[in-house]
């Protein structure tokens, strides 16, 4: 077989099969091997008398072969009987076997057998046990036998030897000063020794559940490496320069407060102050503003923009969808244009002369506030003086877009003492990041949280119905509409097929039109062009349309305070956070709102858990916590966060105390023992660098 990719290492061609298989598993150096931990263990440290064997358990017995023959029952098989010292017998059965197996089981041979016991037709037996010839003085294993994650072409025995050798050679000397290591932890060497070769009396449960002190050390070291690398990034950022915004020029943001139709909540005032505090520094802000759906992040963005603009800098606000960008644009324009601030609107669908005019106004600086989709960061967009970039629903942007944004942040061309100025960055998200994730994956971000909703909101009541009650739901729509309220109906998301998506939405649209004579029912889906989408959305926003049937294009941020009923069909197909986002489209005004989740039975247990969680709580943080619990950090973060550090040993749900300890240790290491910090990082960076975020 020819390798599909040229092997870059010089010795590549001459490597043996198992060696290649090891490389594929990422086992390249001694440290890799030392950190290749067993999946589980086999207990070969004791012998069980045949009489005491229990069905379903894997055990080791020793005895003498009393009989061995090839039988031709339903299929050809090798059947042997062994008898132990106490005189009890056990049947061994091999459906596939080599002549060597038969030879090894010649009557009279003393053998050590290991396998799972099951109740056979003729008494208890083991099928395909491992067989080892022994003599009276063959010692038992002194530690549990590790079973490693392996692959085809990499025999367990080969891997065991390689790992044992790697473990012996790897430099596992202690690099950390004792005061940063949490109490009662093993040294790394002891920890690895114990995980690879646990003593027989060790609790397998502790080991396999990863709660054993040896695991604690390993997880701590991993988390520490991650925290060190993030602190490093943070400290490097602290050396960069950004424009300093004076707040006394902020008469503008006071004037903005005066035009707003409401007072800021205490939480909003607090986060505005946190942001203003950053913007007064000459170091680029790198802040995440998180707040539940409806908590009022947009106005915080507007206040931040006002600070930048009052200081003569431009602000860009970017939203993930055109609908959302447009809505922001309208709202912000209504707030800031009365103050004499010029705005520009940039999206992919805006073409030709209009677009060229916009680009000119962005480039010459006359547009102080630029709102749009990711069109805002396209190559041909040049800002005269970009001082602040705000990203709404940041988790919806991909890695490529973030990189493009970075380039824009550095584009002002101005400098401070020779150092180029970088724009400040504010990211907003309604999917709160649970604390553990915030401290690990996002450790180099500062976080502000809006933890209170504007006053006068009536909590949303969530009901879960089977689809047999669809008619009742339609009747409820008629009631809401009669009261002058508006209704969303969201159709299922079927990822594989946009077409089916569309059919569902169209069919539901027709059904509702027929069931609700005289009511204007609109339809919105991803296949419509953006002008049509905008037109439908505008009619719904203006209250001309009572019911809006849509696919998930309305998922994020849309704000129509008069909407009081949200129906989500096939709710079992949505993720928790997504349901919460959708639900957040209602309950935005003072009217009591209801969210109806319609499911199609049968529901899986997870499906039940999810819908139950939705009915039980309106708290976005609690929802995020449960979502993380149900899906795990990898999926929770999703492809959109790819490049984020995923941990190999530590578990963000269970190991919060270790995360905190690692955080503290990382700070004191960089401050007091930078060399130890470097050595620790180097040790872990050499190992599968993809696990650590640089």
Least distance in Å: CB of 416 to Mg ion? 33
List 454, 522, 620, 633, residue binding ligand ADP (CB under 6 A)? 454
- Number of residues near Mg ion (by CB under 5 A): 1
Taking contact as CB under 6 A, which single stretch among the options 144-152, 191-199, 557-565, 594-602 is the one that binds ligand ADP?
A: 557-565
Q: How far apart are CA 426 and CA 132, in angstroms?
A: 65
Contacting residue, 262, 356, 366, 499, with ligand ADP by CB under 6 A: 262
Query: At CA 684, angle to CA 679 and CA 690, rounded to 5?
Result: 140
Paired tokens of 313: 């800098």
Q: Which of 23, 1, 27 is nearest to 12 (CA)?
A: 23
Nearest to 61 by CA among 2, 132, 9, 11: 132
Residues 6 or more apart whose Cβ sits within 8 Å of residue 391: 318, 397, 405, 425, 426, 427, 428
Contact positions with ligand ADP (CB under 6 A) in 293-332 = 293-299
Binding mask 503-542 for ligand ADP (x = CB under 6 A): ----------------------------------------
Q: Select from 112, 580, 588, 683 the one that contacts ligand ADP (CB under 6 A).
A: 588
Cα 314 to Cα 419: distance, rounded to the nearest angstrom: 20
Q: Which residues, other chains included, contact 573 with Cβ-Cβ below 8 Å and sequence gap of 6+?
A: 492, 493, 494
Instruction: Name residues whose C-beta falls within 8 Å of residue 345's C-beta, 6 or more positions apart in sequence.
Output: 325, 326, 329, 358, 370, 371, 372
In the complex, what is the shortest distance from the CB of residue 581 to ligand ADP, in angstroms, rounded to a whole number? 9
- Between residues 522 and 557, which has the closer beta carbon with respect to Mg ion? 557
Residue 115 interacting with ligand ADP (CB under 6 A): no
> Tokens in use for 360?
């000119």
Pick 293 or 692: Cβ nearer ligand ADP: 293
| Residue (162 or 624) nearer to ligand ADP, CB | 624
Token pair belonging to 624: 């995020």
Q: Which does 588 bind (CB under 5 to 8 A by kind): ligand ADP, Mg ion, none?
A: ligand ADP
Query: Torsion over CA of 196, 197, 201 and 204, rounded to 10 degrees?
Result: 30
**Nearer to Mg ion among residue 221 and residue 559 (C-beta):** 559
The strand pairing partners of 548, in sequence order, are 488, 522
Residue 460 binding ligand ADP, by CB under 6 A: no
Q: Return the residue nearest ligand ADP (CB atom).
A: 296
The residue among 285, 228, 580, 653 whose CA lies nearest residue 448 is 285
| CA distances in angstroms from 499 to 489, 495, 534, listed in the order given | 18, 10, 21
Binders in 279-298 for ligand ADP, by CB under 6 A: 291, 293-298
Distance between CA 665 and CA 674 in Å, rounded?
12
Is 264 an interacting residue with respect to ligand ADP (CB under 6 A)? yes
Nearer to ligand ADP, 145 or 617 (CB): 617
Distance from C-alpha of 361 to C-alpha of 341, rounded to nearest angstrom: 13
Site for ligand ADP in 624-683 (CB under 6 A): none
Q: Which is nearer to ligand ADP, 299 or 646 (CB)?
A: 299
From Mg ion, ligand ADP, none, interface partner of 587 (C-beta below 5 to 8 A by class): none
CB closer to ligand ADP out of 113 and 566: 566
For residues 170 and 428, which CB has a smaller minimum distance to Mg ion in the complex? 428
Cross-strand bridge partners of residue 63: 111
Complex with Mg ion: residue 318 or 521, whichever CB lies closer: 318
Those residues whose C-beta lies under 8 Å from the C-beta of residue 209, and which sit 6 or more positions away, are: none
* Chain position whose Cβ is nearest to Mg ion: 557
Q: Which does 294 bind (CB under 5 to 8 A by kind): Mg ion, ligand ADP, none?
A: ligand ADP
Residues 543-562 that bind Mg ion (CB under 5 A): 557
Q: Is the dihedral angle over the CA atoms 123, 128, 134, 137 positive or is it negative?
A: negative
Residue 98 interacts, among ligand ADP, Mg ion, none and using kind-specific CB cut-offs from 5 to 8 Å, with none
Most distant CA pair in the chain: distance in Å? 101
Region 559-578 residues binding ligand ADP, contact defined as CB under 6 A: 559, 561
Q: How far is the CB of 255 from ligand ADP (least distance, A)?
A: 17
Interface residue list for ligand ADP (CB under 6 A): 262-265, 268, 291, 293-299, 430, 454, 557, 559, 561, 588
List residues binding Mg ion (CB under 5 A).
557
């Amino acid at each position: 077989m020819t390798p599909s990719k040229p092997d870059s290492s010089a010795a590549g061609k001459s490597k043996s099969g198992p060696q290649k298989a090891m490389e594929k598993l990422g086992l390249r150096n001694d440290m890799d091997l030392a950190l290749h931990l067993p999946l589980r263990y086999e207990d070969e440290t004791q012998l069980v008398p045949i009489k005491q064997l229990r069905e379903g358990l894997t055990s080791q017995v020793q005895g003498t072969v009393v009989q061995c023959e090839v039988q031709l029952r339903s299929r050809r098989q090798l059947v042997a009987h062994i008898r132990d010292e106490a005189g009890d017998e056990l049947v061994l059965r091999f459906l596939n076997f080599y002549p060597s197996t038969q030879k090894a089981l010649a009557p009279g041979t003393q053998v050590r057998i290991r396998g799972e016991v099951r109740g056979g037709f003729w008494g208890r037996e083991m099928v395909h046990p491992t067989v080892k010839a022994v003599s009276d003085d063959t010692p038992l294993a002194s530690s549990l036998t590790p079973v490693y994650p392996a692959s085809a072409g990499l025999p367990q025995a080969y891997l065991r030897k390689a790992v044992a050798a790697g473990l012996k050679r790897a430099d596992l000397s202690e690099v950390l000063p004792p005061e940063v290591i949490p109490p009662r932890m093993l040294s790394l060497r002891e920890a690895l020794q114990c995980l690879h070769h646990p003593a027989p009396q060790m609790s397998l449960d502790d080991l396999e559940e990863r709660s054993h002190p040896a695991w604690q050390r390993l997880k701590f070291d991993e988390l520490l490496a991650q925290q060190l690398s993030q602190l490093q990034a943070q400290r490097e950022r602290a050396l960069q320069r950004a424009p300093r915004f004076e707040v006394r020029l902020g008469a503008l943001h006071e004037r903005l407060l005066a035009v707003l139709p409401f007072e800021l909540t205490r939480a909003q005032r607090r986060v505005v102050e946190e942001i203003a505090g950053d913007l007064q520094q000459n170091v680029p802000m790198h802040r995440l503003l998180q707040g539940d759906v409806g908590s009022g992040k947009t106005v915080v963005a507007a206040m931040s923009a006002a600070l930048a603009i009052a200081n003569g800098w431009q602000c860009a606000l970017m939203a993930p969808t055109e609908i959302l960008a447009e809505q922001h644009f309208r709202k912000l324009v209504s707030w800031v244009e009365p103050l004499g601030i010029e705005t520009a609107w940039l999206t992919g669908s805006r073409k030709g002369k209009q677009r060229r005019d916009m680009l000119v106004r962005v480039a010459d600086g006359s547009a102080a506030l630029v709102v749009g989709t990711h069109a805002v960061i396209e190559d041909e967009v040049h800002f005269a003086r970009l001082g602040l970039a705000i990203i709404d629903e940041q988790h919806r942007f991909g890695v490529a877009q973030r990189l493009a944004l970075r380039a824009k942040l550095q584009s002002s061309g101005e400098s401070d003492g020779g150092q180029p100025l970088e724009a400040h960055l504010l990211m907003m998200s309604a999917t709160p990041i649970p604390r553990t994730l915030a401290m690990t994956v996002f450790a180099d971000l500062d976080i502000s949280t809006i933890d209170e909703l504007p006053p006068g909101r009536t909590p949303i009541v969530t009901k879960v119905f089977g689809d047999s009650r669809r008619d009742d739901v339609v009747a409820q729509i008629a009631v809401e509409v009669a009261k002058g309220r508006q209704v969303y109906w969201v159709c299922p998301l079927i990822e594989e097929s946009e077409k089916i998506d569309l059919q569902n939405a169209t069919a539901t649209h027709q059904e509702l039109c027929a069931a609700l004579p005289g009511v204007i029912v609109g339809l919105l889906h991803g296949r419509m062009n953006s002008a049509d989408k905008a037109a439908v959305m505008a009619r719904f926003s203006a209250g001309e349309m009572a019911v809006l049937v849509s696919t998930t294009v309305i998922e994020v941020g849309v704000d129509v305070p008069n909407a009081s009923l949200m129906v989500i069909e096939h709710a079992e197909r949505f993720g928790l956070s997504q349901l919460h986002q959708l639900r957040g489209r209602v309950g935005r005004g003072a009217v009591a709102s209801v969210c109806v989740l319609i499911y199609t039975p049968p529901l899986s247990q997870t499906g039940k858990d999810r819908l139950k969680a939705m009915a039980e709580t309106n708290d976005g943080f609690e929802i995020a916590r449960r979502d993380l619990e149900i899906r795990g950090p990898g999926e929770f973060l999703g492809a959109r966060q790819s490049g984020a550090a995923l941990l190999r040993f530590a578990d963000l749900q269970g190991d919060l105390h270790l995360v905190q300890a690692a955080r503290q240790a990382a700070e004191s290491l960089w401050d007091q023992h930078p060399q130890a910090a470097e050595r620790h990082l180097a040790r872990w960076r050499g190992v599968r660098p993809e696990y650590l975020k640089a």
